[in-house]
Structure formats: C-alpha cells, structure tokens
Chains A and B, each alone.
Chain A
Amino acid sequence: MSTLVRQTGIMIRVNLLSLPRRLAISLSMALSIALVVCVLAGFLALAKGFESALAGAGSPMVAVILGGGAQQENGSDIPPDIIRSLEATTGDIGAVRNSAGRLVSSREVIVAVDVDMVGDDAVRTIAVRGMDAAGASMRDQIAVSEGRLFTPGAREIVVGDQLATTLGLTVGQSVRLGAVDWMVVGRFSAHGSAFESEVWADLDAVRAGFDRQNTVQSLRLRLMDPAGLTRLQARLSTLGTVPLVAMTEADLYAAQSGRTARLIRLFAWPLALLMAIGATAGALNTMMSSVSDRTVEIATVRALGFQRFAAFVGTWVEAMCLAAVGVALGLVVSWLGFNGWQASTIGANNARLSFQLSVTSDVAIVAGLLGLAIGALGGLIPAFVATRLPLTAALRARG
C-alpha cells in the first residue's frame, strides 16, 4: 500500500472518529440534505407514479382510432359509417381478425359522471367507459378480482379496484350514475394502472343511460404485430374525408402522462435545487467548522510530513459521508412516507385519475445523487482550506 493511501486512510479515520465532537452541526448537515432528498424524491415519485399509472394502461399491441382530429378520447367522434366501412374491409389491415374473419375490436365512449361520496358532502367526478364485449379482453393485465364482467345490454358495471376502494363500492351494490341506477357486478385489477380509476359497462347501456346515442369516441383494434399500425393508418387514409388518427394505446397514454409529469418535474426541480443551494451553504458551514475544529490535528500531521492531498481527501470524504447519511435518511423517509401513497388528479377525460406514488430505483438514484452532490460541493472549499492551514499553528496550539 502506498504511503499516500495510508496517509489518506488515517486522515479519513481521524476525521470520522472526531465526528462526535461536532455531533450537532454534523447532524444538521445530514438532516438538511435528507430534507432535500426527501422533497425531490417525493415529487419525482409523484411524477413516476402518475406516469406508471398511465404507462401501465397502454398496450403497444392495441391500436386506438380517434376521430374529429382529436388526439385523445375526450372530444373524439368517429362516425358510424366509418366504423362500418372499416369492419367491411377484407384482407390485411394490420389488425387481428377472429376465426370468422371479423375484426377483434371494441367501440368505446367515455363519460365523466359526478358521484356523491359516501359519508361526505363532496362530489367526485369519475370516468364511466362504455365498451363492446371484447373491450375488457383487449386490455392486457386486466383481471376480475371479484364478481364478474358486465352482461351486454344490462345496466351493470365493473369497477376498478382503486376507484372501488376510494368510493367504497362493493359487489352487489346499486349505485346511481347520472339519471339511472347501476348494479355493481364486479371489480377488476389492472396492476394500479389508470384503468383502475374507471367504471366499465356495456357500450349500448352507457349510451342509453347518458344520452349518447350512436356516439363512438374511440375504436380499439388488436394489432397483428408492431408494424400493423402502419398498415392500419394506410387503410384509414382511404376511408373518406373524416380526419382519423390511429395510434397505439401506449402512445395515447404516454402523451396524456407526459404533460402532467413534465409539469410536476418542472415544479420539483427548481424547488429542490433552491433547497439544495441552502443545504450546500449549510454543508459548507458545517465542514468549515469541522476544519476549524481539527486545525491542530491537521497541522500536526502536516508538520509530521503528511501531504496536503491527505488533508484534502480526509475533509472531503467526511463531507461525503455526512451527505451519504443524509441521502440514506432522506430515501428511507421518502420511501416509508411516499411509496404507495394514494394520490389522484384530474385525468385527460375530465375524470379523477387515481395513482400511487412510486419511489422507484431511478427516483432514488436521482434524488440520492443530488444529495451527494450537495456534500461534494459543500465539502470542496473546506477541504481546500484544510490543505492551506498554517503549520505554525500546530507548534503552539494546545491540542
């Protein structure tokens, strides 16, 4: 082992062992870094949870056709003759057909409905989706967690697990949506995706119940392969003058989540960086205090022949260790406090979208790196000061 490594090692050890002498100020540095990490991790978990909820809802193998120039289901309208023309096509249009040669598709409408919360004066807006019988099976990772799916033509609904929990809906319960009562016949799970914030029912029942006769907002088709979307888009361009847009379900939800997630991050980063500047100033103050506290020790070993580099690294590593403690503390607190925390916002269909905050590994890494950067920057100047201490102090100072 080189002498420089040994010098550096002993300086690091001496610094860390002397931490109890500066316990209060060292803890304050770690805590301020923990706070920054916690706040940033919280916001990033919010954005990540929102993205996950929508990303989990979209399949790259399902195409969504929208009409009227809309880029999302809300505001979209597909004329019935277009749907009939599409269903009448033969040959390869990129979409899967069943054994009878018919397209595997689901016509859908989505209605924002106000619901009175149980035991509360608040009114909550939820999304009721009307779909064809194939609609549920076209969604990946959907499982009926209780009861059964709705019967075509009946005023029956199945409710996403998150929404059912929030509203306190149980299977067998009757609930008034709009002007009519609906029977809850089942609950479904969608791995926490945005679908769990929806109520599903038969298309015709929804159109009748909410006066949306003949309306179709989106048409879902299962794609044969990833390139099937291009063939489908080519075929849609031949179906008359109505502007139609086809995209994968994954792209539809990614577009919806992107804007909100960007907004959250746009708010999170400036706030976290402002706090980080304050924490860096605190770290600088702490480490300057540490250098001042160790003046005699640093000057003594330098007088014995230790190099400046050892004094620099020793101080810098101390700052990084305190930052690491702050990062660990911040991540543990944010994980315990935020991970899995239920949140909701207004989604693209003007209905409430529930999701869970998610402190994922990439959230932890980003927030953790910011915390370590605070320690690295805050420790830099004091480490440099440590190398410039006058050695004459060692000869006269009381150790």
Chain B
Amino acid sequence: MTEAQDIYIQLESVSKAYRVAGQTLPIFSGLDLAIPKGDFVAVMGPSGSGKSTLLNMLAGIDRPDAGRVRIGTHSLDQMGEAARGSWRAHHMGIVFQFYNLLPMLNAAENVELPLLLKPLSARERRVRVERVLDLVGLAGRERQYPGMMSGGQQQRVGIARAIVADPGLLLCDEPTGDLDRASADDILEMLQTLNQVLGKTILMVTHDPQAARCAKRTLHLDKGVFVEEARAAE
C-alpha cells in the first residue's frame, strides 16, 4: 500500500445513493480509494458499477452523502459549489468521451477556455495555447473548427484544453470510447507521455482493456466496490 504522505487522491468511507422513481439506489457504501501523486489509474467495470459517479465526485461535480473526498490538500466534500468550480479550474482537467468541444469556437479558442478563469493576459494565454497545441501535435491547426477535424484530432484538442492550465490531475472519461483503434492508440500514448514526462496524475474510466493496459494500475469496480487491482508489468 502507498505511504500516507504520498497519497494524492483519497476517498474514505464514501457513500452515495440516488433516488430513482421513489426508490433508493445505493451506488457506494463505504468506498475507500488511495492514489499517489503521479499515478496513472484505469477504472474498469460494467455499466452501473459506479464509474461515472466516482468520476463525478472526484471532479467535484457530485458530492458524497457521507465520507471524505480529498485531493491534495483540498477536501471536496467540505467545499461549496462555487469553491469546487474554482478548484476544478485550477487543479484539474477533464477529458470527455465525446470531446465536448464548443463547435462555434476554433481549436485555439476551445483550448483557451480554462485560461479565461485565470488572471492571465491575452498574450500569456495565446503563448500557452500554442504550446499545448504543439504538444498534442496540432500546431498550425489553431484556427480549425471542431467540425473540420477528425475524432482523434478533436480529442487531442480536448486533451490540450484539459492540460492548458497545467493541472496536477487529469480525469478521463472513456477518452478513446468514440475513436478508431489507431486514433485511440495515439491518444493513449499521449496520456502516457503526460503521465511519465509531465508527471500528471491520471484517472481514466474505460471499458477498453487495451486502454487500461496503458495505465500503471487498473481497478475493477463492481456494484460500488473495488473487487480487483492489476498492476502493469514493469
């Protein structure tokens, strides 16, 4: 088990249930999780196992009914909605399955969105946007709109948007779920680079075993409980 001082993401006795059609649907009952800084964790599991709920709680989009969600020095379960929004803007990037790019903004403008939340000048923002687009292999495509790009290219823009504010944590929700194999491999390679070279902590929800193999660890979630842990071969 990881030493306590290295733990970056920690869930302690987290419980969560939803009310559906008058019925209480429990998702987690006392879930624990510890992920050290710089780790790359894949979370797999069948539909309804709680993967999305886990991701939403780590993103501060959803709150646990009970228990603690701590990331770095921040206890998300103690924060109000505005504080969680501000925390997301400064400490976390999200990569969506369907990219979630704004179609009326070009690539550079989409990537710039998280920087609008920071006190940066227009020039500083432009430099950062050009740098990350170059990093994801989209230099020269700043003015292209999402509709003019392939799925793989759109996801690269999505990754550029997620890392442009230099967050410590990347949450990826099925980042290759809408891509062909070749594009998926490119994206996974990029995530590995971000983890290994830039030291980003990555938590990736996926159904794809091949994608999971790119992570350092794979956690299997079933009915709200981590049932298995696999480590990648060195």
**Footprint of B on A, CB under 8 Å?**
3, 6-7, 10, 13-14, 17-18, 296-297, 300-307, 391-392, 394-399
| B96 interface hit (Cβ, 8 Å) | yes
* Contact status B61-A395, CB under 8 Å: yes
Residues of B within 8 A of A392 (CB): 52, 56, 61-62
Instruction: Give A7 to B86 CA distance when docked, in angstroms.
Output: 13
Instruction: Give A311 to B160 CA distance when docked, in angstroms.
Output: 23
Scoring B89, B94, B104 by chain A CB atoms within 10 A of each residue's CB, the highest score goes to B104
A305 touches which one: B89, B100, B102 (CB < 8 A)? Answer: B89
Instruction: Give A123 to B101 CA distance when docked, in angstroms.
Output: 72
Within 8 A of A (CB), among B136-158: none
Instruction: Give A6 to B124 CA distance when docked, in angstroms.
Output: 15
Main secondary structure of the interface of A (DSSP, over half): helix
Binds A, one of B20-28, B33-41, B113-121, B211-219: B113-121
Instruction: Give A20 to B117 CA distance when docked, in angstroms.
Output: 27
Residues of A within 8 A of B117 (CB): 3, 6-7, 304-306
Instruction: Give A10 to B106 CA distance when docked, in angstroms.
Output: 13
**Footprint of A on B, CB under 8 Å?**
52, 55-56, 59, 61-62, 82, 85-86, 88-90, 94, 96-105, 109, 113-114, 116-119, 161, 173
Residues of A within 8 A of B161 (CB): 304
Instruction: Give A13 to B59 CA distance when docked, in angstroms.
Output: 26
Chain A residue at smallest Cβ distance from B105: A14
* Contact status B56-A397, CB under 8 Å: no
* Contact status A301-B52, CB under 8 Å: no
Residues of A within 8 A of B109 (CB): 10
Q: A10-B116, A300-B96 are in contact. List 8 more A-B contacts (CB 8 A).
A: A3-B117, A7-B117, A10-B109, A17-B105, A302-B85, A305-B88, A394-B96, A397-B100
Q: Could you give 26 example pairs across A and B, Cβ below 8 Å?
A: A3-B116, A6-B116, A6-B117, A7-B116, A296-B100, A300-B100, A301-B113, A303-B59, A303-B88, A304-B88, A304-B114, A304-B117, A305-B85, A306-B85, A306-B113, A392-B56, A392-B62, A395-B56, A395-B59, A395-B173, A396-B52, A396-B173, A397-B98, A397-B100, A398-B98, A399-B100
Chain B residue at smallest Cβ distance from A391: B61
* Contact status B102-A3, CB under 8 Å: no
Instruction: Give A249 to B135 CA distance when docked, in angstroms.
Output: 83
Chain B residue at smallest Cβ distance from A6: B116
Q: A3-B118, A300-B102 are in contact. Are A396 and B97 (CB under 8 A)?
A: yes
Residues of B within 8 A of A391 (CB): 56, 61
Instruction: Give A14 to B100 CA distance when docked, in angstroms.
Output: 14
* Contact status A305-B55, CB under 8 Å: no
Scoring A10, A18, A296, A396 by chain B CB atoms within 10 A of each residue's CB, the highest score goes to A396
B86 touches which one: A18, A297, A302, A305 (CB < 8 A)? Answer: A305
Residues of A within 8 A of B99 (CB): 399
Residues of B within 8 A of A10 (CB): 105, 109, 113, 116
Chain A residue at smallest Cβ distance from B91: A305
Residues of A within 8 A of B105 (CB): 10, 14, 17
* Contact status B114-A297, CB under 8 Å: no
Instruction: Give A304 to B52 CA distance when docked, in angstroms.
Output: 17
Chain A residue at smallest Cβ distance from B118: A3
* Contact status B55-A395, CB under 8 Å: yes
Q: Which 5 A-B pairs have the closest CB atoms?
A: A305-B89, A17-B104, A300-B100, A6-B116, A398-B98
Instruction: Give A108 to B86 CA distance when docked, in angstroms.
Output: 82
Q: A395-B52, A395-B61, A395-B173 are in contact. Are A304 and B89 (CB under 8 A)?
A: yes
Instruction: Give A7 to B96 CA distance when docked, in angstroms.
Output: 21
Residues of B within 8 A of A306 (CB): 85, 113, 117
* Contact status B98-A18, CB under 8 Å: no
Instruction: Give A18 to B102 CA distance when docked, in angstroms.
Output: 9
Instruction: Give A146 to B113 CA distance when docked, in angstroms.
Output: 71
Instruction: Give A7 to B173 CA distance when docked, in angstroms.
Output: 25
A325 → B minimal CB distance (Å): 19
